[in-house]
Amino acid sequence: MTYNVLIVFISLILENLVNLYIPNEFYMLPLFTPLSLIFIYPYFKNSKKDYLLFSSIVGFIYDIVFTNFYILNAILFFIIAYIIYNYLKKLNFNFINIILLSIIIILFYNIILFLIFNITNYYDYDILDLIYIIKHVFIINLIYIFSLYFISCKKFLKNIL
| Per-residue model confidence as pLDDT tens digits over 71-93 | 899 999 999 999 999 999 898 88
User: Which of 105, 71, 70 minimizes the C-alpha distance to 85?
Assistant: 105
Q: How confident is the model at residue 1 (pLDDT cuts 50, 70, 90)?
A: low
User: What kind and span of H or E run contains 112?
Assistant: helix 95-120
Specify the 3-state DSSP secondary structure of 135: helix
| 28, 33, 35, 37 alpha-carbon torsion, rounded to 10° | 180
**For 43-58, what is the mean pLDDT?**
91
Residue 10 one-letter amino acid: I
Compute the average pLDDT of residues 18-36.
75
Give the model's pLDDT for residue 155. Answer: 58
Mean of per-residue pLDDT scores for the chain: 84
Give residue limits of the domains in the chain: 2-160
What class does CATH assign to 2-160?
Answer: mainly alpha
Q: What is the pTM of this model?
A: 0.85
**Residue % of the chain over a pLDDT of 70:** 90
